[in-house]
Structure 1
Amino acid sequence: MRISSKEKIAQMPALEARKILRLFRDNNCHQPVEGIAYRLKIDNNEEALRLLDALTHEGYLDRTHEGYFPTPKGNSLALASANPPIKRARAEKMVAEMLERIQKINTNPDYLWRVALVVVFGSFVRGEELLSDVDVGVRLVRRPGLANEVYGQQSKERVELARKQGKRFGSYIDEIVWPSTEVWNAVKSRTIGLSLHDMDQADEREMILAGTHEVLLGEVDK
């Protein structure tokens, strides 16, 4: 799905609508009005309620007693790209370069996580000549053979190294997950149009495997 910064969805800028839907995907749960207002930095809950009701009316959200949650249409909007179309040749080059990076990651003893599964899906697998983005499902696993104590010590060392290189951590949780986050970042390598999806997230996995897909690395668990 492609969107334009100039178009409107549910009577609001398309990019703002996408931002709201991405909050649900990032938190993987129902969201109350107060939570959305806080994350959007809206002081007035009534304004947040207006936005959520507009998206509900257009079929992007459903509402229950627990709060709001995205519909399949809403999930599609959350994944929508506003980038210029990607030509087929460029998309194939992006995938090839990503696989080269993954090979280097998986043989680099400094990284504490490995890429165990890579699945391309969507328009790339369908063979389309112009793509909105290149969708790739990825699963990471902890490097085999690392005892917990060793992993803990090396994790601290990776965090300290990142700090020395200018990385700022927003919370203690960010530090804990940094060894896997840095691998995600290395796979992505700031490539515009390369959209990574976590195969360990049940909803992501279900969406990917339900459609046209191709496994490039590893095996999908049955």
Structure 2
Amino acid sequence: MTENRRTQLDAITLMLALILLLILEYTAGFLPADWPGLLKISLLRLVQCSVLLGLLYFRKHPPLSAGLSLKNLEKGIKTGILGCFFMGVAALSAGLALHFYGINPLPLIHVHLPDSTTNLILFFIAGGLIAPVAEELFFRGFIFSYLKKYGFIPALLISTSAFAILHSPPQPTQWIGGLVFGLAYGLSGSLAAPVIIHACGNLVLFSLSWMTAQPFFHALIYP
């Protein structure tokens, strides 16, 4: 019984995680003002990951409790790759349907990117690699994992709502993404699945936004 409780996150651990993340967000405001914003965000998310992993250790929860077990890693990777494929097919189908009705889908998914090359690289690293890991660790690894004892659907809906609402202002893509990430995590039991889908989705959105801003591609898309 004690071992079973260890493998399930408890309310105290979840509350501590939330409090620690709020403290980190507050203290990030004291970082030097002349540091690039994207650098500060990257550092904050890396520290966030370290703090959450440290909390698991401190509370004596095994990696399995947050979807970090090597046991489910292979299944998580396969689920993540399949999820990327199906998300790509769904997005392409939706885009073609909109195009058929005379609506250009690209402005609907456009992401504003930095102008300088350095900031652009930082943006891809922070938003495409670091943020998906940090966000999935908290929203799926902690929130979903704690709530799943109340049922798969409540865990999916509440973790998705928290994910979308905290992305201010919430967009349809975040609600859809949150549902997909939660489904991938729930089906695989591994955080690798939502991290792969999340990172792939972000990188594709950023890449499309960058490509459509280039004169050559812009002329093709907006003749």
Q: What is the TM-score when the length of structure 2 is the normalising length?
A: 0.31
- Structure with the larger RCO, 1 or 2 (CA within 8 Å, 6+ apart): 2
Q: What is the TM-score when the length of structure 1 is the normalising length?
A: 0.31
Q: Of Structure 1 and Structure 2, which has the larger fraction of its residues in helix?
A: 2
